[in-house]
Every structure is written in structure tokens, then in C-alpha cells.
């Protein structure tokens, strides 16, 4: 019932073409594997078992991600409540698993079997074909089971972190980006424990499947106990994983959770709360209400999420690669970290300030003054973006070669840059015309948001970065070693003092630009028309 169903929109001709391509691929794999095996039998080629073991571990982790995505899509399409009235939870979980396995892995077993037979004939060892098929099919089955356990376990996430549930489609790509950042640094040899990580990957139990698949080849020096251990891993891991998946699914699907509880999250915008205790003495109630409203919007559908993540992710990748190369966090890198993060804060919260208010923009324009609206928007951005920016900047500064006082000063400057970026972005965002705002899909989700479509929005993002770069220019120039040395020689003062003076100047410029940008945004708000 759950295992096989023809996809809509695929004609018989397409199925025929895919079938022919699969047959051709299988034949090619068989011929290529035979040639490779024959060359090994004649001692013309040799296998690098250590690299194959590490590749098996990496491939297993990749397979888990692929199976998890396929399982999630299958569960989203399944009528769970209806099916559970006719089948047990165990049958449901097993059916979902078989459906995913048949869709993702089953088509590739034909080339695998063909390659295994060809390789076995080439090395003159018939038992090798069965060993390779068992190892590969068990490898994929274990990955499917582990992914199912993870997908069902995700349902146990407490309701207090439902923001992660709502943003899981976006977080998936953010985690991939962060993983790519770490992988790029590790691949470049920038992290000292790279050899240790590679050794762990080669010795992981899942890597034993390489020894299992090649255990019958006399020309390859495999470890027999690892091959037998791989059989134990499959024999215990697959049934144990199925039992765990069924138990977790029974708990998740058996709970009659109210779906509205996961998505509503209604809260007061004017009552007492943490924000009132933190900012009530310094910010007026209307401005705090505007900030609270924006926080609630971001909690439900985070429009600012991409702006605060995408640009800093790319920028921090380059900075991390540079610092891992020089084995230090120099002042220029520290200033760059603060600049990149502050730019993301402004791009996220201020660039589409009118798009975030679009559904209730007429009411907002008539109920809130321009200064309160702009101050509330800047407060919302700084309160969310400044803490992680400051922590990241201060942490990098304490790790690097700059002194503690200089690191603290640059951290303070990064907070000022966040305020400046948010103010400039809000001023630029207030210039968007009402008729240029359209509904658009929120990336990787089915939610709809509002924003400006076309190149104008991208130009605005660039202008935010350019404006903040001009503000940070004194600190950037003073952090260049050649400039610092020249200033030290001319003025006769220590290099840290030169850099600190430039940072203080940047803080003053940032505050002045922030005030001017806020005044400009208030004027645009007062003159804004709905046409």
C-alpha cells in the first residue's frame, strides 16, 4: 500500500527511457568493474583501503541525509491519521521505510549487482559478488533505518523550541552551509585535528563494510575481524533501528498534539514581559510595541533570517579560511568579522521593513509616529543581532593576537555598527513604493511573505554594505599592517593605540550616521503615501 506508486506526470515513454538508461549503466558498471578487477588480479592496480574506508564513512553520513529528506517528504504526503486507523504503527513505519528504500536505493542496486559480478569475475573470486551485494545493500538499509529514527525523533522536540520546527526547511540549508564552511577549512588543512578526524572516519564501524565487501579477494589485504564485525553491525543495527523507530513513532504519532499550538504562539504586544523589563526604562511604549510586533513576526516566519545568515555566512567563510591559513586572528580579520555580522543585521531587519508591515501598513501609518516606528525597528534589529555579533567578535578577539582591551573596544564598535547598519537599512527600506511590494514565497517553505521584486532590492542590499563599509573605513585602514607601521613611525605611538583611536573614530562616525539615517527614515515615513 505504501511501497509503490507511479509518479504522476511521468509517461510510459519516460519510464522506458529511464529503464534503458539503467540497463546501459548496469552494463557499463559490469564491464568497468571486470576490467578493474582483472587489472588487480594481474597486479597492475592496487586499492587504497584507507581512503575507501574514509569514503564509506562520509558516504554513510550523506546517505543518511538523503534518506532523511526522502522520509520527511513521504511523511508529509502520507495521510497519517487515516492510515493509523487501518494499520498498526509498526506496519506504518515499515511501510514508509520500504517505500523510501524502493524509491531511493532500489534503482541503484542493479548497477551495484552488475558491478559486483563483473569485479568478482575479474578477480577470479565468485564469493566476492555476494559479499559486495550484502555490504552495499546492508549499508543503504542501515542508513535508511538511522534516518527514519532521526526523522521520527525530530517529532519529540519540545514545544518551547517550535521556532526550530517552523524553520526546519531553512535550517536544513543553513546547516549545510555551516557544514560546508567547516569542511572547507578542514579540507584546506586549517584545523589541526584534521588527521585525527580522518583517522576516526577510517576506523568507524561503518567503514568495516569495506572489509566485508572485499573479504573474499585474496589480492587485497583486508582485516577479517572487521568484515565479521560489519556483519554484526548490520545484524544488530538494522533490527535495533527498526525497533527504535517504531517505538519513537508510536510515541510521536500516539500523542494527540494540537497543531494550532505549534503555529499560533499568540502573545501580547503591550503587556509586561522580558522586553519591558530590559528596555522599558529607555524606550517609549510605542517604540517597544513596534519592536515586539517585529519579534513576533520573526518568531513565526523569519523574514530577516536570510539577511542575517546568508551574507555573513559567505563573509565568515573567507575570514575563517584566512585566519586558519595564518594561524591567527589579526586586527583586520577581527574588524571584518564585526563588519560582516553588522551588515547582515541591517540587511535582514531594515531592507524589507515595509514588506514586513505590508498587510497592516495603512493601520501602522495612522497609529504610530514615524520616530517611534523607526526606533522600534532599529531596536528590534539591534536586540537580536548585536548579542551574537558581540559574542563572535569578542571570542575571536580573545583567541587572536590583539590585546584584551582592543578586542573589547572592537566588540563595542561592532554593536555600534549593528545600530548604524539597521538605521541605514531602514532609511533605504522606507524608499520602497507601496505599489512595488508584492507577495512572494518564503524560500524553501510554503509560507508567503511580502517584499520588493526585481534588482532594486539587491541594489539596496549592496548599498547597505557600501554605507557600512564607508563607516568602518578608518578601523579597516588602521588595521592594515603597513598603515599601522607607517603611523607608528610618524607619530611615535604604539600600534595598538593607533588602531584603538581609529576604532573610536569609527564608533563616533557610526553614531552620527545612525542619527542622520534615523532622521531621514522618519521624514520618509511622514511623507509616505499608499499609491
Output DSSP code: residue 445. Answer: S
Sequence-separated (6 or more) residues with CB below 8 Å from residue 465: 311, 343, 347
d(CA 472, CA 339): 7
Quick one: which of 320, 314, 274 has its CA closest to 461? Answer: 314
Would you state the torsion angle of the CA atoms of residues 380, 384, 389, 395, taken in this order, to the nearest 10 degrees? 150
Sequence-separated (6 or more) residues with CB below 8 Å from residue 273: 267, 292
Mean pLDDT in order along the chain per 10 residues (531 residues): 47 73 83 81 74 83 88 80 79 87 84 85 82 86 89 65 52 58 54 59 79 76 75 86 86 55 48 68 82 79 69 76 78 90 87 81 83 90 89 86 87 93 91 82 68 82 90 90 84 85 93 93 87 70
Output DSSP code: residue 192. Answer: T
d(CA 4, CA 102): 8
Question: pLDDT at position 413, please?
Answer: 94
Q: Are strands 448-452 and 437-441 parallel, antiparallel or unpaired?
A: antiparallel
Q: What are phi and psi of 146, to 5 degrees?
A: -60, -40
Length of the chain: 531
Question: pLDDT at position 164, please?
Answer: 52
Q: Report the half-sphere exposure of 414 (CA within 13 A, side-chain side).
A: 31
d(CA 216, CA 148): 32
In the numeric block, which cell numbers belong to residue 309? 545568515
d(CA 498, CA 477): 11
**Residue carrying C-alpha cell 506508486:** 5
Contact 430, 385 (CB under 8 A): no
Q: Report the half-sphere exposure of 478 (CA within 13 A, side-chain side).
A: 22
d(CA 500, CA 504): 6
Contact 444, 373 (CB under 8 A): no
Quick one: which of 330, 324, 337 has its CA closest to 482? Answer: 330
Q: Tell me how many helices (H) and strands (E) the chain has.
A: 23, 2
Question: pLDDT at position 365, please?
Answer: 83
Beta bridge partners of 441: 448
Is residue 94 helix, strand or coil?
helix
Question: pLDDT at position 181, please?
Answer: 58
Contact 483, 502 (CB under 8 A): no
Question: pLDDT at position 467, please?
Answer: 92
- The vertex-129 CA angle with 238 and 39, nearest 5°, equals 130
Amino acid at each position: 500500500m505504501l511501497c509503490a506508486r507511479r509518479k504522476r506526470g511521468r509517461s510510459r515513454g519516460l519510464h522506458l527511457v529511464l529503464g534503458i538508461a539503467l540497463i546501459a549503466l548496469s552494463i557499463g558498471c559490469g564491464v568497468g568493474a571486470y576490467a578493474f578487477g582483472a587489472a588487480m588480479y594481474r597486479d597492475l592496480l592496487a586499492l587504497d583501503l584507507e581512503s575507501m574506508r574514509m569514503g564509506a564513512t562520509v558516504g554513510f553520513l550523506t546517505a543518511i541525509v538523503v534518506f532523511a529528506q526522502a522520509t520527511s517528504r513521504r511523511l508529509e504526503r502520507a495521510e497519517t491519521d487515516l492510515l493509523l486507523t487501518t494499520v498498526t504503527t509498526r506496519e506504518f513505519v515499515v511501510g514508509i521505510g520500504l517505500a523510501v528504500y524502493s524509491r531511493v536505493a532500489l534503482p541503484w542496486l542493479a548497477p551495484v549487482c552488475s558491478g559486483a559480478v563483473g569485479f568478482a569475475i575479474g578477480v577470479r573470486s565468485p564469493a566476492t559478488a555476494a559479499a559486495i551485494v550484502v555490504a552495499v545493500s546492508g549499508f543503504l538499509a542501515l542508513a535508511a533505518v538511522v534516518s527514519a529514527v532521526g526523522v521520527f525523533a525530530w517529532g519529540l522536540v519540545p514545544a518551547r523550541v517550535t521556532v526550530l520546527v517552523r524553520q526546519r526547511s531553512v535550517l536544513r540549508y543553513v546547516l549545510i552551509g555551516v557544514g560546508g564552511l567547516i569542511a572547507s577549512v578542514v579540507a584546506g588543512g586549517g584545523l589541526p585535528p584534521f588527521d585525527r578526524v580522518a583517522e576516526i572516519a577510517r576506523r568507524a564501524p561503518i567503514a568495516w563494510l569495506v572489509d566485508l565487501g572485499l573479504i573474499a579477494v585474496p589480492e587485497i589485504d583486508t582485516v577479517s575481524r572487521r568484515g565479521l564485525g560489519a556483519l554484526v553491525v548490520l545484524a544488530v543495527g538494522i533490527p535495533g533501528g527498526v525497533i527504535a523507530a517504531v517505538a519513537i513513532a508510536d510515541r510521536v504519532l500516539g500523542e494527540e498534539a494540537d497543531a494550532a499550538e505549534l503555529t499560533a504562539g499568540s502573545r501580547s504586544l503591550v503587556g509586561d514581559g522580558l522586553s519591558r523589563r530590559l528596555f522599558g526604562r529607555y524606550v517609549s511604549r510605542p517604540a517597544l510595541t513596534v519592536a515586539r510586533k517585529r519579534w513576533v513576526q520573526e518568531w513565526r516566519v523569519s523574514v530577516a533570517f536570510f539577511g542575517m545568515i546568508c551574507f555573513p555566512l559567505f563573509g565568515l567563510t573567507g575570514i575563517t579560511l584566512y585566519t586558519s591559513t595564518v594561524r591567527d586572528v589579526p586586527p583586520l580579520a577581527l574588524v571584518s568579522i564585526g563588519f560582516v555580522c553588522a551588515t547582515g543585521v541591517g540587511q535582514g531587519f531594515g531592507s524589507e521593513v515595509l514588506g514586513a508591515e505590508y498587510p497592516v501598513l495603512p493601520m501602522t501609518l495612522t497609529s504610530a509616529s514615524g520616530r517611534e516606528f523607526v526606533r522600534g525597528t532599529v531596536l528590534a534589529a539591534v536586540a537580536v543581532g548585536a548579542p551574537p555579533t558581540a559574542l563572535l567578535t569578542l571570542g575571536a578577539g580573545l583567541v587572536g593576537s590583539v590585546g584584551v582591551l582592543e578586542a573589547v573596544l572592537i566588540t563595542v564598535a561592532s554593536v555600534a555598527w549593528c545600530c548604524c547598519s539597521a538605521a541605514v537599512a531602514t532609511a533605504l527600506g522606507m524608499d520602497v513604493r507601496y505599489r512595488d511590494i508584492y507577495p512572494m514565497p518564503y524560500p524553501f517553505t510554503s509560507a508567503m511573505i511580502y517584499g520588493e521584486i526585481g534588482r532594486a532590492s539587491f541594489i539596496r542590499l549592496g548599498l547597505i554594505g557600501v554605507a557600512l563599509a564607508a563607516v568602518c573605513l578608518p578601523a579597516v585602514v588602521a588595521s592594515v599592517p603597513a598603515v599601522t607601521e607607517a603611523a607608528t613611525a610618524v607619530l611615535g605611538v604604539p600600534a595598538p593605540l593607533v588602531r584603538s583611536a581609529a576604532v573610536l573614530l569609527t564608533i563616533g562616525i557610526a553614531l552620527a550616521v545612525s542619527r542622520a539615517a534615523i532622521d531621514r527614515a522618519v521624514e520618509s515615513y511622514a511623507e509616505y503615501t499608499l499609491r
